[in-house]
Structure 1
């Protein structure tokens, strides 16, 4: 007996996850939007702490526990941002649109668009 999805023939969690993702992608409708797969691959090459690398990877893959994500997993919660109430709490809102996050970005040395 062997696992045909690796060169060694041994099962790994990584190979099992890859097969599960391929099956999901084959059954899901096409997604039109920014492709983050190349960014996800580059995360592990960034010279920062592993904690920061992991956080960036979670943000890119949508694994951060925000209202919109929790609701999509069946939790009965209000997806609105509980702090500002201005928008649905998504990863994008939490990291870039939320007023305190915008202040942090404005004070950081990373260039941002004026709008």
Structure 2
């Protein structure tokens, strides 16, 4: 004759809700709870595995009227797996940390975590789970605070030197910031010449000089919003060359 306790009921419900492909369910959860990582990260990953994050697909399943598209990329419907692993922004964050996933072998968040367990050491698992939480926090900033990283691209025909091309890019970026009224913006460039030209007080009558003057004017207009330019090495600016 068995004994009913809340813990045993929880274990049954938890295991029944998991993918049948998970072999040792107890070992699967034990590995998560024994990680040397912040408790909030463990709790977050528990929510990810149980698929109880308030993503668009989950909200729609509860009859909440929302747009189904991912709020970050706005390309396809948002699920937990898309938001953390396969959204272009999330995928790029992982790739920049040397983490790649085989999308063909992953159908849900349980598969995703199993893939991480099988191909990563303990420290790498900790890093990936921390990245996942930061990706989710960025997603929430986009949804609730209209914050987060933005991106814009354009194509121009012609042949110019690197300083000219970068100066035009800086001007476009500053114009974009002004258009959206964003505060506390840092525009990064890996072209030292363009950054130095914007901090130089001398006046040039060349075409490059006119572009730089426009950048300076925009920076002055954006001074109240604390917009700044900053040089970064190309090795630290991989997103721009992805």
**Equivalent pairs, count:** 99
Shift of 1:74: 2.0
Write the distance in 1 (CA, Å) between the matches of 2:21 and 2:8. Answer: 25
- TM-score of the aligned structures, taking structure 1 as reference length: 0.66
Q: Which has the higher contact order (CA 8 A, sep 6+)?
A: 2
RMSD value over aligned CA atoms?
3.2
Alignment-derived partner of residue 35 in structure 1: 22
Q: Which runs of 5+ in 1 are unaligned?
A: 7-11
1:66-108 deviation digits (Å, cap 9, x = unpaired): 0001111221222221232221100010001111111110111
Unaligned runs of 5+ in 2: 104-242
Residue 103 of structure 1 is matched in structure 2 by 92
Question: Counting helix residues as a fraction of each chain, which structure ranks higher?
Answer: 2
In terms of Rg, which structure is larger?
2
- Report the equivalent of 1:5: 4
CA distance in 1, matches of 2:37, 2:64: 34
Q: Which residue of structure 1 aligns with residue 33 of structure 2?
A: 44
* Selected match of 2:80 from 73, 91, 96: 91
Residue 71 (1) aligns with residue 60 (2):
yes
Is the contact made by 1:81 and 1:89 (CA closer than 8 Å) also made in structure 2? yes
Normalising by structure 2, we get a TM-score of: 0.35
State the partner residue of 1:112.
100
Q: Take 2:101 and 2:72, find their aligned partners in 1: how far apart are those partners?
A: 24
Determine the C-alpha separation between the residues in 1 that align with 2:22 and 2:76.
Answer: 23
